[in-house]
Amino acid sequence: MAGLSDIEWTDATWNPISGCTMISPGCTNCYAMRMASRLQSMGHPAYTGVTRKSGGRPVWTGLTNLNGEALSTPLRWRAPRKVFVNSMSDLFQDGIPDEFVRRIWDVMQQAHWHIFQVLTKRPDNMLRVVTENRLPTLPNVWLGTSVESGKYKSRITSLRRVPAQVRFISFEPLIGAIGKVNLSGVHWAIVGGESGPGARPMQQRWIEEIKTQCKTQKVAFFFKQWGGVNKKTTGRIYRGRTWDEFPKQTISIAAE
């Protein structure tokens, strides 16, 4: 599945891998798992076997499909886009061959007119794969990690060690307070509440705590959504306005 996206901080999604495994409480109501189940039932070949039903709800089976034919998709998009890489998976989960990550990196290097946003809950694996394979630090590739509560702040420490021109944190779904956080080496923070069935509510003081620290540590702040069972009704206004900051980075975006 690839194409234009409704996600507020990106333009398009690109999924050369489908399927994942849960790693922490932020995964409990994983949107990708629900969507993958739907695509699987519609017969989409990339999603064959990646989910099963358990207690009436979809869960990952642990199978991941490498969709080699999807690799070249961004090269066909001539207009520059921000591209969320593997919105339906986690590029750095166990079992993804380093060789396949290298192929994804090659495409991101070739498609230099796009910005690629790579987000993982496994920044330790990201660090290993990037360093062991000597993957180049590309100006158009932003590397990020998800942190759903203070318990998982150590992911930021790992992310900081990964060579990147832009590093970002997705505090979504924000299901607990983050507390004091060191944002050095981080350029961008996204905050969002969980949405969809079973959404766990986000408290305003958790947002404010992150926003304040972004300001003092000069990190771009993006407020994605309040979330809730129906996120359209709660919207994305915080303190009377939207917060749509992006990292201060410009790249050459002219397609050849």
Residues that bind ligand SF4 (CB under 6 A): 20, 22-23, 26-27, 30, 32-33, 89-90, 121
Q: Which is nearer to ligand SF4, 90 or 209 (CB)?
A: 90
Q: Which is nearer to ligand SF4, 198 or 240 (CB)?
A: 198
The least CB distance from residue 121 to ligand SF4, in Å, is 4
21: left (phi over 0), alpha (psi -120 to 50) or beta: beta
Q: Which is nearer to ligand SF4, 62 or 185 (CB)?
A: 62
The least CB distance from residue 122 to ligand SF4, in Å, is 8
Q: Where are the alpha helices (DSSP H) in 61-172?
A: 73-76, 98-110, 123-132, 154-160
Question: Can you say how many angstroms the Cα of residue 83 is from the centroid of all Cα atoms in its chain?
Answer: 10
The least CB distance from residue 19 to ligand SF4, in Å, is 9
CA nearest neighbour of 190 among 212, 215, 173, 165 = 173
With H, G, I as helix, E, B as strand and everything else as coil, classify residue 60: strand
Q: Which is nearer to ligand SF4, 112 or 169 (CB)?
A: 169
The least CB distance from residue 42 to ligand SF4, in Å, is 19
SS (H, E, C) 117-141: EEEECCHHHHHHHHHHCCCCCCCCE
